[in-house]
Amino acid sequence: MWNPQSICCAFALLDDNLVLTDLDSDLRVIATNRVAINNKGTGRLTAGRWDPHHNCSAVAVASGNSVSGWDIRSLSQTYCIENSHIMGVKDLDFNPNRPYLLATAGFDCQICFWDTRQTKEKLLSLCHHSHWVFMVKYNLVHDQLLLSCSSDSKVVLSCASSLSSEQLETSQQNGQEESSLADGIVKVYNDHEESVYCCEWSACDPWLFASLSYDGRLVVSRVPRYAKYRVLQI
């Protein structure tokens, strides 16, 4: 996975090793560092992600039911979230706008949210799937919106406004208080018939995303209009 701030740095997961590679301007390898992750016999690494904050100087990796953070400058561990998912961690993603906030997806059907500075207790958990959750992805602009996909053949658009970087605002309408989207399900998409292994937000349209299932079906979907307006507070 390429460093989002540099084309001259990348990492790969090889069994239970985190492999960091530096390249020159011609994309020739000039240095490689391998870090053995102490996973206490839980097996190979299952997911990894660059931390987009602090000049992308850190990486988070998942192994078994734990997630650990690593400083690529000192090659040292900075935090560890143990027993984050009972049956194992499948994916993880950092909030793109709010530092230290991490979402994890697991084989226990849950999406959990963590503060990497205080890892003993999760901040929030969402259980919107009935089987393994393969991927979780933050919206790159409106970080209260998240996508998840699962072997239950569903793609779920969720909201975590309570952990969003965007200021929660309320308005008065007809004498009643109306707020932004509440934490929970925004919409369930049932366009697939097989396990959905991948979901990704559009890089140019924050209201557009795609999902890919086991049978090769690629579906492009949109955030519901009502949810869009609630997020924009209009």
Task: Indicate the Cα dihedral angle 201, 121, 230, 176, nearest 10°.
Answer: 170
Per-residue pLDDT of the chain (234 residues; tens, 9 = 90+): 999 988 889 999 999 999 999 988 888 888 899 999 876 656 789 999 999 999 999 999 999 999 999 999 999 999 999 999 989 999 999 999 999 999 999 999 999 999 999 999 999 999 999 999 999 999 999 999 999 999 999 999 999 999 999 864 443 344 444 557 899 999 999 999 999 999 999 999 999 999 999 999 999 999 999 999 999 988
pLDDT at 181: 87
pLDDT at 178: 53
What are the C-alpha distances in Å from 139 to residues 85, 154, 204, 207?
23, 18, 11, 9
Considering the entire predicted model, what is its pTM?
0.90
pLDDT at 175: 42
Superfamily covering domain 84-232: YVTN repeat-like/Quinoprotein amine dehydrogenase (2.130.10.10)
Domain boundaries of the chain, sorted by first residue: 1-64, 84-232
Q: Are the CB atoms for 76 and 88 separated by under 8 Å?
A: no
